[in-house]
Amino acid sequence: MTEIIDGNAVAQRIRDDLGDAITTLEAEAVTPTLATVLMSDDPASETYVSMKQDDCAEVGIEAIDVEIDPDAPAQELYDEIDRLNADDNVDGILVQMPVPDHVDKQPVLRRIDPEKDVDGFHPENVGRLVAGDARYKPCTPHGIQKLLEAVDVDPEGEDAVIVGRSDIVGKPMANLLMQKAVGGNATVTVCHSRTDDLATKTRAADIVVAAAGVPEMIDGSMLSEGVVVIDVGINRVDAETEKGYELVGDVDFESAKQKAAAITPVPGGVGPMTRAMLLYNTVKAAGRHNDVSVSLP
Ligand code: NAD
């Protein structure tokens, strides 16, 4: 029997468990506060931000919604980040990516106070993650670690193959899985667009994390029996639905399921965990910022 890993259920557990930490903060008169900054009129980005705002409201995190005209000069975004860095009521800052083409992403990431960088993308936080002393683990790979833990998959000694080397998923995932720490200790191979003979690599894996952004590119023939498959991909493909599209992952779910011991669905796998771990990092940031010791799930 293949286990279908229920990301919604695990994310709900994490949200519930964050309640204790939020109660501890409230007892010290601290309301954890996340500022989301949107400089885009892309409907997908707008949806992501509004979902994050809703998630905050559900668990008792205050969400500040900052919107900047996508045609405004980059300086306007910089000034807003400076203002939020200086605002003592703000614990976490998230700038929704992508920013418009005329705004350089790297200076934006570097400008956010690393203590408020709940995405974990500031170079200081990336460095700390690599050094094995993470302040805020990036939400998607951290969520994947929690999913593996929830289904009793210990990466220790396992061969993990990650397909994708992006700064937000592939690279931090590789780092977390290779760390000499609980939830790590795997032997990690990172594959990407220039990888030769991907199928030979994925077939040798005990754990496959697919994060390439290519619809259903990994099918059952590329996997071995008993593999654990984590599908990060969220791809819109044309379909005869009301919206005219459907969401599929980077894994061909039906054929992969025939081989896998456990597999995440899309939607309902990794996505809800990414959202839950943003709340986790915000609560952690509020504890650090206000010098309140909180116990995190
Ligand atoms: P990205 O485009 O930044 O990176 C994709 C990576 O995949 C690159 O490193 C590239 O080298 C590699 N790649 C592309 N084609 C490949 C191929 N044919 N074979 C091997 N490697 C290939 O994407 P990203 O931001 O890392 O996101 C990846 C996917 O995950 C997207 O579908 C994205 O929407 C999704 N995503 C989901 C969540 C979530 O919460 N579920 C979070 C972030 C990203």
Cα distance between residue 211 and residue 173, in whole Å = 10
- Pocket test residue of 232, 251, 266, 270 for ligand 1, highest count of atoms within 8 A of CB: 232
Give me the active site residues, please: 52, 96, 119
- Give the pLDDT confidence of 71-111 residue by residue, as tens digits: 999 999 999 999 999 999 999 999 999 999 999 999 999 99
Beta-carbon contacts of residue 68 (< 8 Å; ≥ 6 apart): 37, 38, 39, 76, 77, 80
How far, in Å, are 61, 93, 173, 273 from residue 279 at the CA level? 8, 12, 19, 10
Segments of the chain with pLDDT less than 50: none
Q: Which atom of ligand 1 is nearest to the CA of 192?
A: 21
Report which protein residue has its CA nearest ligand 1's atom 22.
Answer: 193
Residue 105 near residue 97 (C-beta atoms within 8 A): yes
Cα distance between residue 7 and residue 12, in whole Å = 8
Query: Can you give the pTM of this predicted structure?
Result: 0.98
Q: Which atom of ligand 1 is nearest to the CA of 195?
A: 20
Q: Which two tokens stand for residue 228?
A: 């654990």
Residue 93 near residue 81 (C-beta atoms within 8 A): yes
Going from the N-terminus, what domains does the chain have, and what CATH number goes with each? 28-118 (3.40.50.10860), 139-271 (3.40.50.720)
The secondary structure of residue 42, as a DSSP letter, is: -
Q: What are residue 150's phi and psi, to 5 degrees?
A: -65, -30
User: Tell me, what's the pLDDT at 111?
Assistant: 98
- Give the pLDDT confidence of 152-182 residue by residue, as tens digits: 999 999 999 999 999 999 999 999 999 999 9
Alpha carbon 48 to its chain's center: 12
Alpha carbon 263 to its chain's center: 17
Query: Is 134 strand, coil or helix?
Result: coil
Looking at the DSSP bridge assignments, the partners of residue 38 are 67
If you count them, how many residues does the chain have? 297
User: Tell me, what's the pLDDT at 126?
Assistant: 98
Q: What is the largest CA-CA distance in the chain?
A: 56
Helix boundaries (H) for the chain? 7-27, 43-59, 74-86, 105-111, 123-130, 139-150, 170-178, 198-203, 253-259, 270-289
